[in-house]
Amino acid sequence: MTDTSVQMNEAGTRSPFFRRLVSSPLAWLAIVLVIACVLLSLPIVLPIGPMYWDTYIYYDGAQRIFNGQIPNTDFLIPVGPITYYLFALGLKLFPDAQPLLLTQWVILIIAAPLMATVLQAVARERRPVAFALLVPFLIFALCPANVQITHSYPGMDGFGIYNRHATLLLYILTSALMFVKDGRRLAIICGLTMLALFLLKITGFLAGGLIGLLALLSGRISWRSVLIAGAIFVAALACLELNGHMVTAYIRDIVLLVNINRSGLAWRFLTALSADLDIILAGIVLVCVLLWIERDRLAAIARSRNAATFRHLVDSNFVWLGVALIAGIFFETQNTGSQDFSFLWPILLAIFLGFARDSLPRQLLVAVLIGFVAIPFTAKIVHKTLRAIVVSPTYATTPLTEMKSLGAVSTHHDILERTLLLEKHYQQYGDAYADLSAKGQLPSWRLFAELDYQMHWLISANQAVKDIREFEAVHGIHFATIMNLDFPNPFPWLLDSSAPRYIQIGADPSRTVPPPDEAAKQAIAQTDLVLVPHCPLTTNRRELQHIYADALKGKQKVKLNDCWDMLLRPGLLPAAVR
């Protein structure tokens, strides 16, 4: 006969444990991380989204790192080097992971421990607040979606990934500054977060620096903590500089990219304002309301005129939100896609909690205005992600046998039907598209955001890889180095080769590709295979051919198929087939 008293005893001892587990923010964070690792181990297929080919840049960077190249030192990159090292580590751990999920989630390697440190400090005294920080953090970290909608069909946003990473780190920074009171812990979190922002994207670092300056002026972080954070930052950079002068090379590349993009700064500022007008206007209204609510206290502070009262003034709710809005607008001026202003939530949460003892009408007013700021970016991110997941089972795939995990995408049946017609269409009417590109025009104004083009690129690249393998087998050669005169170059990773040094990955000739120097020209001249796609001949492909024309002189041109040509290093082929 079973002893029921023992069962009750066991249940009684288990129940408090499970209650503590369920009520622990750190436990939930750990559970989600385990689930993410499981998902990265599964053959998941996601709906392809606008500019999805940005994802392939990470494979180019990872393959270069695997081959001993150092970001910024051996090849130019559009952002900081840390994201490529994180992705290379993630690719080693999960070689068959869905590409977009892997690129999105590798930031958790550094973001999760930092956020866990914040949550641990907050949960000791205010566990509900810790959960209020954790849930949005997980939403923004896990959802591979931007705030802005760029296509009517559901799909995952394969672009703006490093911008989403930066906003997530800014979220951690604002969470710590708002809710972590332990000076030493705060210093470590801020130092490591600012280090990660610096090595990820310089505009994110500058936005974080503006927020950090406000924290210093308001007394939320002491000079002692700033010195500790600065020491961590400088020491880490000094160690990284020993890795092939990576830091100085990174700073040099930042200056180069600023000079290339200087003419478009005003236009991008207006674009950021118009794209996020709903969030910005709601934020401005909330700033004005907070200023009105605090007018009496501010008047008293103004009459005091001493350092302590100045800190109280700077630590006002309206100042924090106003400065964060300015930082967010500045950050978004350089972003094509991002989880815009999502890092405002910890500040909004702190404002809401600060009105807990005010009158009910005032609480409701502030809560409604906070909702107008926070709901747009949260709802758009969640909606886009859930919409893509819901329709995913109904979407169609096509065999992409040569693309490894890059082929783990699907699309709407109508899009796929159109995509399968494009290859022959581009071949048949190639002169028309060449004429358009010669006049500086794309086949459509939003070509790279079109899902059919993104699917066509994969299908065309799949055929190119297949034909390259066949060419290598027939002629008994192996292309040790491969370059592609197009935006992405995943071919070295797909073909177990290397890529030439000293050139830009993610080659956008309008934003990131400088004229090649002598080292780059020599590296290109020694490259075994340079791929030249021309279905269709777009403006960026034409411009890349022009930029690298001198370095490509003397290459042997061989037709790979109707949509791809090969430029081969002289002497690579046996004399009989030249």
Q: Residues 166-209: pLDDT tens digits?
A: 999 999 999 999 999 988 999 999 999 999 999 999 999 999 99
Measured distance CA(421)–CA(413) in Å, rounded: 13
The reported pLDDT for the residue numbered 21 is 77
The reported pLDDT for the residue numbered 577 is 54
Instruction: Work out the angle at residue 103's Cα, subtended by the Cα atoms of residues 101 and 106, and round it to the nearest 5 degrees.
Output: 95
Q: Kindly report which listed range (62-66, 306-310, 322-326, 513-517) carries the lowest average pLDDT score.
A: 306-310
- 3-class DSSP state of 46: strand
Q: What percent of the chain stands above pLDDT 90? A: 81
DSSP per residue, 110-176:
HHHHHHHHHHHHHHTT-HHHHHHHHHHHHHHHH----SS---SS-----S-HHHHHHHHHHHHHHHH
Measured distance CA(219)–CA(222) in Å, rounded: 6
Contacts of 318 (CB under 8 A, 6+ apart): 287, 288, 290, 291, 294
Tokens representing 362? Answer: 């005032």
Yes or no: say if 442 and 433 are a contact pair by the CB < 8 Å rule: no
Q: Residue 109 to residues 68, 82, 113, 165: CA-CA distances in angstroms?
A: 22, 11, 7, 11
Residue with tokens 């025009």: 441
Q: What is the mean pLDDT of residues 334-357?
A: 91
Tokens representing 357? Answer: 């003892």
Q: Residues 386-415: pLDDT tens digits?
A: 999 999 999 999 999 999 999 999 999 999
Q: What is the mean pLDDT of residues 323-350?
A: 91
Q: Residue 94 to residues 36, 38, 97, 185, 247: CA-CA distances in angstroms?
A: 11, 10, 5, 32, 28
Closest CA to 176 of 369, 376, 343, 355: 343
Q: What is the mean pLDDT of residues 246-265?
A: 85
Residue 484, beta-bridge partner list: 531
Q: What is the mean pLDDT of the chain?
A: 92
Tokens representing 346? Answer: 């910890």
